[in-house]
Amino acid sequence: MADQFDSPVDVEADDQGLSGLAQMAVAVGIAVFMLAMLNAHALGAWADGLEPDARTARISAVAHGLADQAATHGLDGPRAALKQQWDRVKAARWPDQASGNQDQR
């Protein structure tokens, strides 16, 4: 049994190459950039939820502009395809199961 103060992040790994800090900076930067490109619509949806005023209107315009650009280049395709597949899995029912549970989402 693990000690109560053991941390799951206490992983001894080879610290060759980039330092931990540089590793994190590059990894987080790339992940954020990737999500901003492939999931730009989330930024638009987030901006829509802001309280409307002149400042948030500008934020919303930028967010939606980015989402539109991403859609124009087909960057939202992978997420949309994944979501479509997942929705199909969600809609599946057992052979004799009533379909009265379609309002799950």
Q: Which class for 40: exposed (0-12), middle (13-18), buried (19 or more C-beta within 10 A)?
A: buried
Return the residue of 55, 58, 73, 83 that touches other proteins, per CB under 8 A.
Answer: 83
Cβ–Cβ < 8 Å for 40, 66? yes
Return the residue of 55, 58, 73, 93 that touches other proteins, per CB under 8 A.
Answer: 93
61 binds other proteins (CB under 8 A): no
Q: Which class for 27: exposed (0-12), middle (13-18), buried (19 or more C-beta within 10 A)?
A: exposed
| Contact footprint for other proteins (CB under 8 A) | 1-2, 4-15, 17-35, 38-39, 42-43, 46, 78-79, 82-83, 86, 89-90, 92-94, 96-98, 100-101, 104-105
